[in-house]
Homo-oligomer: A and B are copies of this chain.
Amino acid sequence: MSELESVIRRLEELDHRITPSRVAVIAAVLSHSGHFSVEDIIRQARAVGRATVFRTMRLLTDADVVCRVLLEDGSLHYRVSRRGHHHHLVCVSCGNVQDLDECVVGDLVRELAAATEYEIEGHWLEFYGRCSTCRSPVAVAARP
């Protein structure tokens, strides 16, 4: 079963209809190995209406097919999610995104809940830095 088929099944399980527009958006999304913006998808799936692309991105986010990546400049990108809840380490120089193996604040959430009497329901966490390639002066000089 292709990745496309498996995303389609996921949506069917959640009682969403499978339409040509949705299939086109999903195919565009799956064509990316790194992160991408909604505008990228709009450009790739020209026949699909702007509103429908946004609606489908929300659907895919809710279905955990993609995860959202907040870039340091505040812009929101997406990437295909091949695991559950996790966080990102974004290289501010080349844009490369590293998925962190697991949620690194799980313990903290429990401690905080105890200390503050809040019931903690969610969190946003992103790390920004420079990858080893981008830190190497040679690589920096050679960058396009």
Q: What residues of chain A have their CB less than 8 Å away from a CB belonging to chain B?
A: 70, 72, 74, 76, 89, 91-92, 98, 100, 104-105, 108-109, 112-113, 116-132, 135
Contacts and interface: CB of A to CB of B under 8 A. Distances in A.
A26 to B, nearest CB: 23
Contacts of A128: 120-124
A127 B112 contact: yes
B98 A127 contact: no
B125 A123 contact: yes
A52 to B, nearest CB: 20
Interface centre among A92, A116, A132 (most CB of B within 10 A): A116
Highest count of chain B CB atoms <10 Å: which of A118, A122, A125: A118
Given A104-B108, A112-B89, A129-B113, A98 B118 contact: yes
Nearest to A74: B76
A126 B127 contact: no
Q: Which 9 A-B pairs have the closest CB atoms?
A: A120-B129, A117-B132, A118-B129, A122-B128, A123-B127, A124-B126, A119-B130, A125-B125, A121-B129
